[in-house]
Amino acid sequence: MVTNNLEDIFAYFEEYKNPRSGTTTPFCFKAFLKESDNNILRNFYENIPEIANFFEKPELLIFNPKCRLIPDIDHIIQDNITRFPAHLQGAGDGELRRQLVGAIDEVRKKVRTNYKIAVPQYYDGKIQLLLPLCLTAGSPNPDLALVVHKLNEETYTARTCLTLKMAYNNARLIVKPQSNWLRP
């Protein structure tokens, strides 16, 4: 986070002076402070924390259309049915599979021509990409975000999907999403 003048903002914590019994942490949150604040300068003048770095390989932030994408359709449907639009939750597995496979094929073609469609997120210690899945015919907005991650240099896998709200919350951990499809 930064101020309007692009000065870094830090979460500032202080050690409890009289910790309550049962307190699991010795610190309490005090404020969000800009780098030039006296509390930051006084306490961290020689050791101001670096900005969080979520990735070592910038190439993981862009979907490589030359790679294969192998989704685990069974897992996506069975473990995430409550994330699907209400009108599809009652559909049979066969119908959901057809809708999902079609939506994945479609987004694969779209991301090949516009890499900005893939939005990076940071989860479980790694970079993943979010792809918009349009399951509802004629809808201008995607229904879900397909989560893909790199298995190796030639292959992505997809094992889950997220609601747009979940996807937005995860993506904003790296940077405010600029893609126009990710608006919960």
**Predicted local distance difference test score (pLDDT) of residue 183:** 64
Structure token digits, residue 165: 């709200």
Alpha-carbon span 82 to 90, nearest angstrom: 10
The per-residue pLDDT for 184 is 60
Domains of the chain in start order, with CATH, are 9-44 (no CATH), 58-171 (3.30.2310)
Nearest to 96 by CA among 105, 110, 85, 107: 85
**pTM for this predicted structure:** 0.70
Amino acid at 128: Q
**CA angle, residues 100, 75, 77, in degrees to nearest 5:** 40
DSSP 8-class letter at 106:
H
pLDDT average per 10 residues of sequence, the chain (184 residues):
88 83 81 92 84 71 91 94 92 91 94 90 88 90 95 94 90 63 65
Residue 174 has what pLDDT? Answer: 60
Predicted local distance difference test score (pLDDT) of residue 176? 56
The closest alpha carbon to 174, from 130, 110, 108, 117, belongs to: 130
**Alpha-carbon separation of residue 57 from 61, 64, 103, 127, 164 (angstroms):** 8, 13, 28, 9, 26
Tell me, what DSSP letter sits at residue 80?
A: H
